[in-house]
Structures are given as C-alpha cells and as structure tokens.
Amino acid sequence: MLVKTFGSAVYGVNALTITIEVSITSGTKYFVVGLPDNAVKESMFRVESAIKMAGYHMPRQRIVINLAPADIRKEGSAYDLPIAIGILAASGQIDADLLDQYFIMGELSLDGGLQSIKGALPIAIQARNDGFKGFILPLENSKEAGIVNDLDVYGMQNLAEVIGFFKGTEKPNPVVVNTREEFMKQINSYEQDFSDVKGQENIKRALEIAAAGGHNVILIGPPGAGKTMLAKRLPTILPPLNLHEALESTKIYSVVGKIPTTSALLTERPFRAPHHTISDVALVGGGMNPQPGEISLAHNGVLFLDELPEFKRTVLEVMRQPLEDRKVSISRARFSVEYPSSFMLIASMNPCPCGFFNHPEKECLCGPGVVQKYLSKISGPLLDRIDLHVEVTPVNFSELSSSREAEKSSEIRARVMKARTVQDHRFATNDTLHFNAQMSSNMVR
C-alpha cells in the first residue's frame, strides 16, 4: 500500500513542501531514498522504537520511503514523525484519510516523545501558503508556529497523541497566539540604559545620529573610556521593532532554533557581539549545510565588533558585500541560499596596541611603525562602509563622581523616532527605503 504524508525542508529563511511517500511490499529491507542525509537514514531505529512504545508494531516487510522532490537534500531528524505516521497508515494501523490535510514534522525519541525542530515558523507559513488545513509538530515549537493565521497548529508531546489525533480519539485544541498582544507585552524591556553612562555627551550625540539614520559607527579610544558600555546601550535608543521586522527576525532565529520557548515572537532588536576569534563562516553564514551567521542574526538590530583589529583580516573582508547589499548570498554546487543582513554595525578599537596613543595623561609605548601596522589591519574599503568615525576620550573623575542625572534612553529614543518619521515621509514613495543609510550614492547627490 502507498501512503503520502507531507512535511517541509528549510532553505535560507523559507521552506519547501516535501512529500513523504511510504510503500510497503513483500520483502524484509528498509530503504529511504530522495537525497536524505545520515540523520534521515538513521530514522529507522528511532521510528521502530517509538512505534513499539506507542503500542503498535513495525511491519516486517519491505518498506520504501521516498522524500520528494528527490533533487533537494533532506537534512535533520524532523522527518521521523511523518515517516512513522506514513508507516502506520500504509500498514493499515491508522486511517490515512486526513493525512493530505496536514503538515507533520517532529523528531522522535526512542520512547516515542517528540523533540523540538528548527524552522517551525517558515514551515508553518509554507503550510498555510500551500492550502493545508493544519500543522502537527512538537509542543515545544507550537507557540512559534501558532503566530501564523489561517492554519490550525497542534502541539503534540508524543507519537501516541498524534496517532490518537488521526484515529479520532484525541481532540486537542489548536494553538492560538494573539500576535499583536504577544508583540506588545514584551516590547522595550531593556535592562540597560544610557543614563548609566556618566559623561561622554558628545559620544552619546554621535550614537543618536547613527541610530536616527541607521549609520554604521566605529568608536576609537583607550581602554576604560566607555566604548563597550556605550555600544551595548545602542539598541535602547533604536525605534522599537514593527510587526513586519519582528516576523523577519523571528524567521531567522527559528531557522537556527534560537527562539525562547517562553515567547512566540522576537520583540527586541537583536544585539549580537561575537568574539574576535570567530570564523568567517560563523560570521556571515554558510557551512556544508548552510546556516545563518551572526550578521543575519543581527538583522534589524545591531552587530557589535569589539576590538576590531583583533578579528582576522579574512573575517572582516567577507563583511564588505553584506554591508553594501544588506543581504548575504551563499552558493554551493547544487544550490544557493540568501539570508537578510540589514544591521547597524558598531565597532570599537584602541588607537594602538598599548591603547594609549594620544591619551591626555598616559604615555603611549608604541613606536610609529607599530601604530601604523596596527591600524593597517583594517582595510580602507571596510572603513569606507563605516559612516561615523568617533574618537572617545576618557571621562575625568569630576564627571564620573557627579550626581547630575544623565539623559535616559527613552528621551534619546523619542528624538530618534522623530527623525525616523521625517525619513519615512521622505521615502514614502519607495518601499525598500526606510532610513538614510539605505540611500544609494545617486540619491545622496
């Protein structure tokens, strides 16, 4: 008997529909075809154990499973559940009438429990776009998928519950998430504030200008001047994410499995601060099975590179194209994927290896050649893509000990949002432009 179930494969930040065909005939072997990776091939052991633990039996016949279309590579263990349901339906242990109405995805543990999957949000969007009635997935991912309208999302804890659903003995309620309520209840919940920083009013003003126009900025100054402290507070003065931006960022985090189980939607602008030992693949994305990198995880937010000259030259140079195009394309022999990467870059660095070049009080111990060699680690083309270069000087003791209250992030953000409103009116006829940093050279003229 031939039975079809439906799942999905994630490519980039979007999903493709995958048909899982299960055929049971006379024989003894188990085959998975359709370009599966090792995790999919190993599914037989998890599926067999889970079926037995649910109180059913694995057919002792020839089982052929085809994952179509066959020219697309299928990765991960999320196909365990649709394969198990397909085997049970093909062997007549459950009814197959409803299978063509649902996307089914989930990893099975040996005891039949369902483990979380990656990419639940883009898969749910694909299920809705393809006209499916519902999506059955692990309970842990149900809130994430539940933000998609016009799709019945069912979170299940184990294989037995899924079997009961198709047999009609289990009637769970669909997961319903009020997207707007979820979005608004956590918005603007930052723990840090610009009022924590004493002095440095000029630097705060520079960061306010950068935030207003979405400009990249580099802070250059000695150790202890407050560069890192200021950079970490930049997201607190950026305008809140709108619903469209929140969904964009949530899709990216869904693909890498980094959405907190307590929330369905990212409500704060991402802030990513990778260590200077990061590889170029980890920064821009890629790998054998391409995944988004740090620059895509910072989409609609801030990417902070502390001690910029300490990053490898190759790592910094691969950022040039994403900074220019606000997207990153990763090409392989068989396919290519594209990830969004529209972020604000904020970098910090010392002016020399010892850190005290041009310091008002401390003497620099570096020779002229050493300083020049240190600064040359950052290429001219990369610096050209950083709009604001700001020199940071240490704050004197009288300012640090002052009891005068500094300006709060909420006050600075109000001015930034006012400037963004002006830019919205300026670019009202262009849907792709939202702030000054996105303007082309022709538009600047």
- Per-residue pLDDT band for 189 (boundaries 50, 70, 90) equals low
Q: For 15-158, where are the alpha helices, taking DSSP H only? A: 38-41, 43-53, 80-90, 120-129, 139-145
For residues 365-374, average pLDDT: 89
Q: In what order do the strands lie in the sheet with 14-25?
A: 30-33, 62-68, 14-25, 2-11, 102-104, 134-138, 152-156
Pairing of strands 107-108, 114-115: antiparallel
Distance (Å, whole) CA 434 – CA 428: 8
Candidates 314, 392, 381; CA nearest to 349 is: 392
Q: What is the pLDDT of residue 445?
A: 63
Distance (Å, whole) CA 141 – CA 250: 13
Measured CA to CA in angstroms, residue 161 lies from 35, 112, 154 at distances of 30, 10, 10
On whether the CB atoms of residues 11 and 18 are closer than 8 A, the answer is no
Q: How far apart are the first and last CA of the chain?
A: 68
Specify which of 31-35, 162-166, 239-243, 288-292 reaches the highest per-range mean pLDDT. 162-166
User: For the chain, what are the domain ranges?
Assistant: 2-177, 183-444
Q: What is the pLDDT of residue 185?
A: 65
CATH superfamily of 183-444: P-loop containing nucleotide triphosphate hydrolases (3.40.50.300)
For the chain, give the percent of residues with pLDDT over 70: 99
Q: What is the pLDDT of residue 82?
A: 98
Residue corresponding to tokens 């490519």? 11
Distance (Å, whole) CA 24 – CA 118: 29
On whether the CB atoms of residues 239 and 412 are closer than 8 A, the answer is no
The token pair at 309 is 């000259």
Distance (Å, whole) CA 423 – CA 409: 21
Distance (Å, whole) CA 120 – CA 7: 11
Q: What is the pLDDT of residue 262?
A: 73
Distance (Å, whole) CA 433 – CA 424: 8
Q: pLDDT digits over 58-68, tens only?
A: 999 999 999 99
Pairing of strands 152-156, 134-138: parallel
Q: What is the pLDDT of residue 440?
A: 76
Pairing of strands 62-68, 30-33: parallel
| Strand, coil or helix: 315 | helix
| pLDDT of 437 over the 70 cut | yes
Q: What is the pLDDT of residue 187?
A: 60
Domain 2-177 class in CATH: alpha beta
- Amino acid identity for residue 100 in this structure: D
Residues linked to residue 31 through DSSP beta bridges, in sequence order: 64
| pLDDT of 131 over the 90 cut | yes
For residues 284-302, average pLDDT: 92
The token pair at 193 is 């504030």
More confident residue, 55 or 199: 55
Q: What is the pLDDT of residue 263?
A: 78
Distance (Å, whole) CA 433 – CA 428: 8
Q: Fold match between 2-177 and 183-444?
A: no
- Amino acid identity for residue 348 in this structure: S
Candidates 169, 168, 123, 162; CA nearest to 139 is: 162
Residue 310 is given by DSSP the state G
